[in-house]
Chain A
Amino acid sequence: MSLLKVNGLKLRFQSLDGPVEPLNGINFVLEKGEVLGLVGETGCGKSITAKSVIKLISYSGGEIVNGSIIFENEDLLSKSEKEMQKIRGAKISLISQDPMTSLDPVYRVGDQIIEAIQVHKKLHYNDAKKEAVELIRLMGIPLPKKVFYQYPHELSGGMKQRIIIAIALSCDPALVIADEPTTALDVTIQAQIINLFNKLIEHAQSSFLLITHDLGVVAQMCDSVAIMYAGNIVEKGPVRKIFHSPEHPYTEGLLQCIPKMDRKQKKLNAIPGSVPHPRNFPTGCRFYPRCQYAMEKCLSQQPELIEIGDEHFVACFKYSKNSNGEQE
């Protein structure tokens, strides 16, 4: 049984120029213990997808207008705010993008971990403290007892991110959503955090939804990956398949953008153009203005996700079969 099933998710944001719908019916499934990467350029709707899953999108001014989010066989969209508060942190937790501003500056980090524990577990302060120190130690932080008493501004970015991960994992959630957990860190710290994640993934029972624009991170951490473009999932499948044989023109382009160590390249490939604004998404396939394989059909119709191989889905007319069962 899958842990999380998102079906036809559509959001609406009210703006001065009228409503904007940045998501076009997102579908994905996350199995128990799976690590799913959600990859895409800035502005393609990754973060709002994550926020929708724990229903925090209304605090950013958005509104879920369509779809369903089934978590542990229950539709989260039918839950009240009070019921959601019991799920947030305990069953689903969120690791946010920017470690620098994710901790409350007036409390010691230890007390913030304790707060996260005490929201859901009825624990005495001293017991919670023991658990918190143990969590800090687990994050690979030297001198955990000292760090427990420090204020956020006394810690470096990498340390803060570890504390945030500790807070997110404090109640052993079934699902951890990590929204670009390494973006704000420099490369050496990134590597450490990724190692930490890999260790945690190995030991924890949790499933991870990893949101990133960094394909390198995906390759190191994920079991499967979903590529997003302009509010659509355009390709999804196991990591190996996607990396070895990308089928969607956008995925192909993305992978070509990565410099390769074993090949001499004079110039790095780039996808021409940029991601359209949600207000003026093109009709039909949203990628066709930048697509080198664009066909006439792409102008008017939206391609659906179709299975082209084992667990490998693509939304592109290149692979859609016409009524005769032949490839077009």
Chain B
Amino acid sequence: MIKKEEKLKLKEEEKYIPRNKSRIMFLKFKKNKMAIIGLIIILVLIFTGLFADFIAPQSYREQNLSLKNQSPSSNFWFGTDEFGRCIFSRIVYGARISLKVGIVSTGISVLIGIIIGSISAYYGGVLDQILVVFMDATYAFPTILLSLIIVAIIGASLNTVIIAIALSFWVSYARLIRGQILSLKNELYIEVIRSLGASDFTILWKHLVPNGIIPVVVAATLGMGSAIVTEATLSFLGMGAQPPMPSWGSMLSNGRAYLFLAPWLAIIPGIATIITVLGFNLLGDGLRDIMDIKMKE
């Protein structure tokens, strides 16, 4: 009898599916409708950006002055601009630029932010004070102004814009992770890990950062939206992607002159920007709810 019971126990053990965090998160994600909508928007955008060459009916730079300022029609879904270029094609190619700016610049700024913020919080003391003063000084500048200064120094191009956005956005991530680690480093489990002989490196990067990173991930997702808007703003001001690159911001800026003659020139890139930012914001809000692993399933 006892043997039978033991066998049953063993069977139960074998049957157990190891759950991991991604599985739990996936289950919770499925229930969160807003996050799914956000994810779909972003996936569609990524798909559009990756396969722009196949989706766009025409080249983004091909001019045809005899067809300028056409209203939307079956030939030109979103109409044509002042040079007779197909706006739909330009929007499709523009998705590539917006996504590149959003993801790359946010990636760089999150990386800088996490490294500086967590080192500042963990080691504390004079190093922390110096870094905090540096962060506060950077934070005091409006991000647009800071980006403008950086672009003005290096010169206007898409890559400059990416660097400029990264260098003006990192402070918020640094402050976020710093606050997290300041409170986490007094947790008992950190002391326990230290009492096991773990080095500072292990404690900081394997235990403190993973524990405090969730708010940063959420903020970064939301931040991608603002990075895209900042890129559009800089391009609108002529400091971003240079013509004939189809940045949504510069398209909007060009369309301003024809607002009464051909309003779609300005409206369509505006809507594209809004939808993209909305997608990132919905996903970011959803992630905030999903990432907390301790919440009930």
Q: How far does the Cβ of A175 sit from chain B's closest Cβ, in whole Å?
A: 12
State in angstroms the CA–CA spacing of A185 and B14 once bound together. 31
Which of B193-201, B229-237, B255-263 touches A? Answer: B193-201
Q: Does B140 contact A (CB under 8 A)?
A: no
| Size class of the A contact interface (CB-based, 8 Å) | 35 or more
Interface residues of B in 192-245 (CB under 8 A from A): 192-199, 202, 206-207, 210-211
Q: A88-B196, A153-B294 are in contact. Are A104 and B188 (CB under 8 A)?
A: no
Interface residues of B, dominant DSSP: helix
List of A residues within 8 angstroms of B19 by Cβ: 149-150
A5: shortest Cβ distance to chain B, in Å? 21
Q: How big is the B interface, by class?
A: 20 to 34
Contact among B188, B207, B211 with A96 in the assembled complex (CB-CB below 8 Å): B188
Known A85-B199, A116-B196, A119-B197; contact A103-B189, beta-carbon cutoff 8 A: yes
Q: Could you tell me if A89 and B189 are in contact, using CB atoms closer than 8 angstroms?
A: no
The interface residues of chain A lying within 8 Å CB-to-CB of B294 are 105, 153
Would you call B12 and A143 a contact (CB within 8 A)? yes
**Cβ of B197 and Cβ of A143 under 8 Å apart?**
no
Asked if residues B197 and A101 are in contact (CB atoms below 8 Å), the reply is no
Q: Shortest Cβ distance from B46 into chain A, in angstroms? A: 28
In whole angstroms, what is the CA distance A131 to B238 when docked?
63
Contact across chains for A120 and B197 when beta carbons are under 8 A apart: yes
A146 touches B293 (CB 8 A): no
Known: A143-B13, A145-B16. A104 touches B189 (CB 8 A): yes
Of B13, B194, B206, B207, the contact of A56 (CB 8 Å cutoff)? B194
Q: Which residue from A84, A120, A151, A167 sits with its C-beta under 8 Å from B293?
A: A151
Query: Is B9 an interface residue, CB under 8 A from the partner?
Result: yes
What residues of A have a CB within 8 angstroms of the CB of B53 in the complex?
A: none
Contact with B along A78-102 (1 / 0, CB 8 A): 0000001111111001101110011
Tell whether A106 pairs with B9 under 8 Å between CB atoms, given A98-B188, A149-B19.
no
Shortest beta-carbon distance from A17 to chain B in Å: 22
What separation, in Å, do the CA atoms of A108 and B189 have in the docked complex?
Answer: 14
Cβ–Cβ contact B196 & A167, under 8 A: yes
User: A59: which B residues are within 8 A, CB to CB?
Assistant: 191, 194
A149 and B195 contacting across the interface, CB-CB below 8 Å: no
With contacts A151-B293, A153-B294 taken as known, whether A101 is within 8 angstroms of B189 at the C-beta atoms is yes
- Complex Cα distance, B189 from A106, in Å, reads 11
Inter-subunit contact B191/A96 (CB<8 Å): yes
A284 CB–B CB distance under 8 Å? no
Contact yes or no, B197 A96, CB < 8 A: no
**Cα distance A311–B181 in the bound complex, in angstroms:** 48
Give the CA-CA distance A96 to B187 in the complex, in Å. Answer: 12
Residues of A within 8 A of B207 (CB): 104, 106
- Residue contact B189 to A94, C-beta cutoff 8 Å: no
- Is B18 in contact with chain A by the CB < 8 A criterion? yes
A144-168 interface (Cβ within 8 A of B): 144-146, 149-151, 153, 164, 167
* 25 A-B pairs whose Cβ atoms sit less than 8 Å apart in the complex: A56-B195, A59-B194, A85-B197, A85-B198, A88-B196, A96-B191, A96-B192, A96-B195, A101-B187, A101-B188, A101-B189, A102-B188, A103-B192, A104-B189, A104-B193, A105-B294, A106-B21, A115-B196, A115-B206, A119-B197, A143-B9, A145-B14, A146-B12, A149-B18, A151-B293
Binding site for A on B (CB under 8 A): 9, 12-14, 16, 18-21, 187-189, 191-199, 202, 206-207, 210-211, 293-294
| 10 nearest A-B residue pairs (beta carbon) | A89-B196, A89-B197, A88-B197, A149-B18, A94-B195, A101-B188, A146-B16, A85-B197, A145-B13, A104-B189
19 new A-B pairs (CB below 8 Å) besides A94-B195, A149-B16, A149-B19? A56-B194, A59-B191, A59-B194, A85-B197, A85-B198, A93-B196, A96-B188, A103-B192, A104-B189, A104-B207, A115-B206, A119-B196, A120-B197, A142-B9, A143-B12, A143-B13, A146-B12, A146-B13, A149-B18
